[in-house]
Structure 1
């Protein structure tokens, strides 16, 4: 039986990944900061006969990252799929944000992805199978007032593309998921008012996960869920960067 480890597994895209992977028959290792929510999520899966290990860990800390990295590197309990989903942003722009908050966000969005991927891949390559899914964002193709978040997600995208190239002919895959707006707790946790979250720009987390895993099975490296965001990604790639910056700035002023 194969095992999947999902970070940020108690809500949103992470919870949707866990639910879908459980239906696929995988054992689960669920990672999140809130131990009570982890146990509640695990209880639901265990009632359905899914083997689940809970791993409370704050990935903004070195101790939390090392705890999860040790689990990923354990040869006695191999993990065949790592989903680096945990991530966060904040309401304050760079110059008004507290330096400690910026560093914590960077450690969650970048350092944890690097460290956990590095922990998981050697065993996968040795076994000749496995995959890493790193969750980025459409914002990684652009820029904006929350420049640290967009830069971090751009790093995740380029990092994963590089990993995919380096893993050629190993039997191990790497894919970066770049969703647009998704109905989750993400914006509320950051204190961002995004309105009613209705309309074609907003996707359900379950749809995002379904399309991501389908793209992974096809051997894709970059997964952009939904036709509308696929078109937007192409346009963002074609537009000159100065034009893209002006368009993003205008959109932010209208919010």
Structure 2
């Protein structure tokens, strides 16, 4: 990883932990350059990443202003685990492990992923309780050809931490879809819906950095509890003259 990426992650952590609060200015490029013992050009690259990720806004004559990141409750474009969101947003949450077993993938998921119906997966279901109510039902299917073992204690804590830290794999990217669907019998059984008839569903196929498909995930959310937000920045218009 490049030095400017390390600095970006360090400042990002400081913003998420509110060491730099919304509306405050980051230290000047000169001060950051001294703090990290790097050139101003390296600092500028790190600040550009922060700008493009929606953490700061540059203001002429003032510097880099920290933006309100509470809007990123469930960022659409990011590939972030629930545990990471829980920690960064101080969500009072508990994870209940409902199922973790090896089975053959369903025909519907096989079709979504364009893989064989004989594909073997770890079928994982976890309920997320927030303030005592189950508001998320996460259903994950991990290819056993890529993830041979998945201990219950790791599945309950942090799936991505296990994959990246314990297995040494690098998670790369995902294709996502967002829909609102009628609540299923399973939703009503495990979630605290208060009579809601629909849930927000996100479906993703997730790949390692080398493009290997390893996971299908379906996350089912109670309508009133979470919002899905993307940070959009307009690019300068192209000159067609």
**Normalization by structure 2: what TM-score?**
0.25
Instruction: Name which one, 1 or 2, has greater alpha-carbon Rg.
Output: 2
Looking at secondary structure, tell me which structure has more helix per residue.
1
Looking at secondary structure, tell me which structure has more strand per residue.
2
**Normalization by structure 1: what TM-score?**
0.24
